[in-house]
Structure 1
Amino acid sequence: MRRHGMTEERSVLGRSLLESEALTGEWRDAFEAVPRAAFLPDVVWAFDMDTGAAVEVDRRTDPTTWQRYVDQDVPIVTQWDDGAGENPGGEATSSASMPSVVFRMLADLDAHPGDRVLEIGTGTGWNAGLMTHRLGHRAVTSIEVDSEVATAARGRLGAQGLLGTVLTRDGALGDPEGTPYTRLISTAGLRRVPPVWLGQVSPGGLIVAPWGTHYSNGDAVVRLRVAGDRASASGHFTRPVEFMKLRAQRRHFDGHKAYLPDGLGGADRSTTEVTENGLLGEGRYDVRTFAIGLRVPDCYQVPAAARDGHRPVWFYGLDDRSWACVMFHEGRKADVWQSGPRRLWDEVASALHWWQEKGEPGYERFGLTVTGDGEHRAWLDSPEDAWPV
């Protein structure tokens, strides 16, 4: 795969993507012809898989390390705090996704020459460039809400001879002037699928997007098929991911003190047989966290760090001031505190029990149906057995 001056590291990445089937034969030419490096700024913050930290790298002072990170299967942050921040530690607000995630989502999109694609979230422009290379300049329209990010992406796409249409606007509005599209792909995480999107995709077309609940930052890729009357779209989830959220749909959280101005005083106290591993599983992408979020609406979970053999996990109601805390201990039952109109821990424990009773289903067994009037319903195995989310 050593074409177009590819580095050895990028050749290794290409072989790895092919072996893992993240990169299919249909997208191989695009991978080889459209280098990720051409779409990244001089200063980036690469996620180091060994340390779990964002590493700042400047191409002007350390081009070798910069190129090495760029040609790995790691996410790379390109902007902090909507352009106001310059260092890690704030909120990452624009990035280049892992190449494996990019190509798996493109495979989910199932776009072919002759399709017209609307992309929500231009970012660096690499994803748009890959699609343009394969589908043609007139086939891809990309929307970016940040004017500086959009301008930079246009420049990079133009330099590669891949500039199609890049619009600067709120992606939640879509592109009514350019409809209909046969495919829509979002590279921003969603908490609600904007209803107008359904009317901008042809009957039978696909919407591919990272979708999740406010329970956690995690998402799962959902693949929605638009109905013949465009009144609804429905489909299964495919795999876990985590994307920066559509700006209009970021979680609003007033902070811990707004819920507990007087500490734990007055809360109901109990214990639980649920263990730390039973609740949290193996990490941030454990499917039980996703499943609980589907069953417990308007709730935000915050696992705190373990300290001296104790670990609290907090739950905050986003529609009122209900809260709960489960404190896990080494060697004994966990303590539970709950306060407010909702018994949040009871809801969470019930959702966990439901997931276990259903055989601990994976992401691919869950699905989502959305309607043109904004209703969202999740389901397990079949849309006939759905509940509101």
Structure 2
Amino acid sequence: MTAGGGLAGHRARLHAEMERGGAWPADSPWLREAFAALPRDRFAPDRLWRWDGGAYVPLDRADDPDGWADELYSGAHSAAVTQLTGGLPSSSLSAPSVVADMLDSLRLEPGHRVWDIGTGQGWTAALASWRAGPGLVVTTEVDESLAASARARFVAAGLTVEATAGDGTAGGPPGGSPVDRLHATYAVETVPWSWVEAVRPGGRIVYPWGRLGHVALTVADDGQSATGWVQGLAQFMGDRHGPAQAGTGTAAYAAVRGDAEPETGRALDRDPADLDDWNLRFALRVAVPHAVLLTAPDADGTNAWIHDGHRSWAALAARGSGVPPLLSQGGPRRIGDEVLATWTQWEELGRPDLYDYGITVTPDAQWAWQGDPATRPRWPIGQRGPGADLTAGAASARALLKDEAPE
């Protein structure tokens, strides 16, 4: 089988997998047609990168067309790495299910003007153009070589899409006119106010939020705020000019802890296995945004390791049936206590799922909220950096439960 002859089969299998998994959004039936008209392979470079367990290795279309196609269509929930920088992924074709979910969240209609930020290979901008219409999508890419490649793909696909090179995080849309929709394909922890200013009142902004989740905001009628709900659990590469995100593997935890001995330790009355609940994980992502969590089972049960990418760490160790797990931690902040306080808060709030959270953005502040943007608990965004002294985390959590501002 060659990649050219077998691509139709790969496309069909992807569409079938999306169907079986309920990944085609019911409110955006146009996405099925757009995916068929503009298949993923038409926007993929001739070299992809596959993780072999130790490093990323190249897959060249000319040398291994089957392997290339297999990697590109490895699954509805799988991204394909298209560029490395310093040995790490710096651009990718996002997972098809996530692309569909985010474009559905955009509530895109024919005639909408769209600013797509983070062009990459150009696939999402192409899909948006299929829906909005010719000349209504402009896309911005910080990497000039990627922008140039995307321009060529748009022309080859018969699309009228403007692709510009620039930093979409720092500026506004080319031309300066307000747009109806803004779609970002790289993660930011805080929304640049220029994005809100770029969108007309009533328009929507869809973006990946930091290391976990994507959000859809609606700009207020007066243009002085934007607010909206979490839409899903997507994980995207971060803004290239933003602060580096802490590593998520065991090596990152080991680097933070080093050879430090625990400074505190105590038995726990809860099971670290519960930390595999993604709704709880999202609550932790909201309230303890710099905490990186890993879990893994062994013969005694599920263990958990937490770090902040700086100097603080915690371990929740299973010790077998009938023996309570042990919490040990060290560093300038008691990050294990922060996680436990948030865990308790989440239970007291009724164990809300991730879709019960939202974000509000104003010129001066941003915050996440649960349940209701005006009356329910809220957490500031972007006001605390890694390594901050957050030993008052438990008190803050209790105060937020009472809709009070912690000191």
Bin the TM-score by the shorter chain: 0.7 to 0.9
Aligned to 1:11: 12
Q: 1:370 to 1:260 in 2, by over 3 A?
A: same
Aligned to 1:210: 208
Aligned to 2:34: 30
Listed as ranges, the matches of 1:99-248 within 5 Å are: 99-176=96-173, 177-212=175-210, 217=211, 219-248=212-241
* AA in 2 matched with 1:220: G
8 Å contact 2:108–2:131 — kept in the other structure? no
Aligned-pair CA distance for 1:308: 6.9
Aligned to 1:338: 329
Aligned-pair CA distance for 1:338: 3.0
State the Cα RMSD in Å.
Answer: 2.9
Aligned-pair CA distance for 1:310: 7.8
Cα offsets for 1:339-372 (capped at 9, x unmatched): 3453221111010111122222111111111112
CA distance in 1, matches of 2:159, 2:203: 24
Aligned to 2:280: 288
* AA in 2 matched with 1:229: D
Aligned-pair CA distance for 1:34: 1.0
Q: 1:277 to 1:183 in 2, by over 3 A?
A: same
CA distance in 1, matches of 2:246, 2:32: 42
Aligned-pair CA distance for 1:207: 0.5
Greater strand share, 1 or 2?
1
8 Å contact 1:230–1:372 — kept in the other structure? no
Aligned-pair CA distance for 1:242: 0.9
Q: 1:54 to 1:329 in 2, by over 3 A?
A: farther
Aligned-pair CA distance for 1:210: 1.3
Q: Which has the higher contact order (CA 8 A, sep 6+)?
A: 1
Listed as ranges, the matches of 1:22-101 within 5 Å are: 22=24, 24-45=28-49, 56-71=58-73, 72-73=75-76, 74-81=78-85, 84-85=86-87, 91-101=88-98
Q: Secondary structure at the match of 2:121?
A: coil
Give TM-score scaled by structure 2 length. 0.80
8 Å contact 2:284–2:339 — kept in the other structure? yes
Give the length in aligned residue pairs: 363
Instruction: Return 242-251 or 320-329, whichever deviates more.
Output: 320-329
* AA in 1 matched with 2:200: S
Cα offsets for 1:303-342 (capped at 9, x unmatched): 2756675876443446x74443333333332222233453
Cα offsets for 1:100-150 (capped at 9, x unmatched): 211121111011111111111111111111112222232111111122222
CA distance in 1, matches of 2:9, 2:331: 58
- Please point out which of 262, 266, 273 is paired with 1:277: 273
CA distance in 2, matches of 1:317, 1:201: 34
CA distance in 2, matches of 1:97, 1:339: 37
CA distance in 1, matches of 2:209, 2:192: 12
* AA in 1 matched with 2:29: G
Aligned to 2:389: none
Aligned-pair CA distance for 1:187: 0.8
CA distance in 1, matches of 2:337, 2:373: 26
Give TM-score scaled by structure 1 length. 0.83
8 Å contact 2:179–2:198 — kept in the other structure? yes
Aligned-pair CA distance for 1:173: 2.0
8 Å contact 1:295–1:351 — kept in the other structure? yes
Aligned-pair CA distance for 1:269: 2.1
8 Å contact 1:367–1:379 — kept in the other structure? yes
Q: 1:144 to 1:330 in 2, by over 3 A?
A: farther
8 Å contact 1:120–1:174 — kept in the other structure? no
Instruction: Return 139-148 or 334-343, whichever deviates more.
Output: 334-343
Q: Secondary structure at the match of 1:356?
A: helix
Q: 1:340 to 1:182 in 2, by over 3 A?
A: same
Aligned to 2:405: none
Percent identity between the aligned chains?
Answer: 35
CA distance in 2, matches of 1:136, 1:269: 60
CA distance in 2, matches of 1:110, 1:261: 47
Gaps of 5+ in 1: 86-90
- Please point out which of 367, 375, 384 is paired with 2:358: 367
Q: 1:313 to 1:156 in 2, by over 3 A?
A: same
CA distance in 2, matches of 1:233, 1:365: 17
8 Å contact 2:140–2:164 — kept in the other structure? yes
8 Å contact 1:196–1:372 — kept in the other structure? no
8 Å contact 1:22–1:103 — kept in the other structure? yes
Q: 1:29 to 1:178 in 2, by over 3 A?
A: farther
CA distance in 1, matches of 2:314, 2:65: 49
Q: 1:78 to 1:99 in 2, by over 3 A?
A: same
8 Å contact 1:173–1:196 — kept in the other structure? yes
Q: Secondary structure at the match of 1:238?
A: strand
CA distance in 1, matches of 2:71, 2:312: 43
Aligned to 1:349: 340
8 Å contact 2:180–2:199 — kept in the other structure? yes
